[in-house]
Amino acid sequence: MAVFGREMLGRQVLDRTGAVLGTLRDLQFDMNTGTISELIVEVKEGVSAASLPFDHHENTVQIPASSVARIASNIHLNR
């Protein structure tokens, strides 16, 4: 089953324990391969972007695609 990028926007992003980190706001692509390279996630209120192990700017974090365990109704991370 194919999933289109715009269908993923707005989904919740959960860490490996199932805790909600925030909401997917955008995707970055590797222009050479056409694959997703990073997820841009707006962290939810009460979560400090600076305390997460990802590059951050204000209330967003850039999560490498390699950190995604699976995509379902939510996006589940492997860390």
CATH of the domain at 27: 2.30.30
Taking alpha carbons only, the member of 32, 40, 57, 56 closest to residue 5 is: 40
Residue 4: per-residue pLDDT: 65
Q: pLDDT tier at 1 (50, 70, 90 boundaries)?
A: very low
Query: Does residue 30 fall inside a structural domain?
Result: yes
Q: How many CA atoms lie within 13 A of 63 on its CB side?
A: 28
In tens, the pLDDT along 34-62 reads 888 999 999 999 999 999 999 999 999 99
The whole domain housing 69 covers: 23-77
In a domain, 32, yes or no: yes
